[in-house]
Structure 1
């Protein structure tokens, strides 16, 4: 008697879980994050994602035509959660420089830590194509402009210089990655980023706590 798994009746009779397109999309993203966490970014292929998600390859290809498209979707998913976290924290924070700076620092670090060690691998993979590099830069630009608007009331009479905002973002990425890798603690990352933001605003000619 053949023992080929393809002849096993359970493969053809097991009911498939039917999900809406949006729910399936989220399921695939969640599975992709888990695969990266367990096996590394290099192990994440469209075929592997289909296998891990228990769906056919065409289902995966319908959502992500290429691996770069999947990586882009993962980064967009991360950025969306980061934005929601910061917006909610800003809405409930004190309208002071200390309050706003604390929210920016805490929400950035917290979002990276919530994603764990997976996001550095995805970010590194984004360097693999010009399209993905541009995608990352576009989202970075949106983030620093958001920070500019949040901190603008405390930077008068001079606006915060764009190079300073990029330097702040560089510090945020480096500190968060270090915390995710266990090189420093989350508190150390948040505190250092908080001080970096205060110093940036002070150099702009502002820096009032109120």
Structure 2
């Protein structure tokens, strides 16, 4: 792996900075993540960090996007390999959701740090819409609901999933309990007759 002083391509440098930023969030907190602390930890000048992210919210959003894309990708991959039954699809979605929630506990902290900005909330909304579409597409053939009704219920289930993830990340429940609860909500609420 190159040392921070070695010249990297713009994309490779961005990835290195995001890796370093994630390490700061994991090791300390989102409050400790600034463009200056990132530059120091990555061993680069502040202008390099500013060139990539512009502002602290820009950096946090880049981290959020990275985690969201990883989450959606893992879920899509799991769905491609799932047996095509409502229960199996719900179980796979639930397991993928909580695998990401436990593998990426900083996701909630980064999301919370982004609250309040209209631009960030609009972008978060676009990401939620993309995940909702993924979920609705996987369940449509197993539901008697129309597309709009199914999409709205997916939004509700994703809100419940976020609340269950909070319980899981607070060690109030175990992963198997969380997975079962979300799978039951998916089957009970989205596979309506």
**Corresponding residue SS for 1:190:** helix
Distance 2:176 2:188 in 1: 18
1:120 counterpart (96, 105, 108): 108
Give the 5 Å matches for 1:42-81.
Answer: 42-81=31-70
> Mean alpha-carbon deviation: is it higher for 107-116 or for 156-165?
156-165
Larger Rg: 1
Distance 1:188 1:53 in 2: 39
Distance 2:135 2:167 in 1: 22
1:200 pairs with 2:189: yes
Distance 2:5 2:18 in 1: 18
RMSD of aligned residue pairs (Cα, Å)? 1.7
Hey, what does 2:117 align to over in structure 1?
Answer: 129
Distance 2:164 2:132 in 1: 16
Native 8 Å contact 1:126 1:136 kept in 2: no
Hey, what does 2:157 align to over in structure 1?
Answer: 168
Distance 1:184 1:15, change over 3 A: closer
Structure 1 position 181, deviation (Å): 2.4
Task: Structure 2 unaligned segments of length 5 or more: list them.
Answer: none
Give the 5 Å matches for 1:142-161.
Answer: 142-156=130-144, 158-159=146-147, 160-161=149-150
Native 8 Å contact 2:94 2:182 kept in 1: yes
Distance 2:63 2:70 in 1: 11
Q: How many aligned positions are there? A: 190
**Corresponding residue SS for 2:12:** helix
Native 8 Å contact 2:4 2:42 kept in 1: no
Task: Structure 1 unaligned segments of length 5 or more: list them.
Answer: 1-13, 206-210
Hey, what does 1:6 align to over in structure 2?
Answer: none
Distance 1:42 1:101 in 2: 36
Distance 2:4 2:64 in 1: 32
Distance 1:85 1:105 in 2: 12
Runs of 4+ residues over 4 Å off in structure 1? 157-160
Structure 1 length normalisation: TM-score? Answer: 0.85
Structure 1 position 61, deviation (Å): 0.8
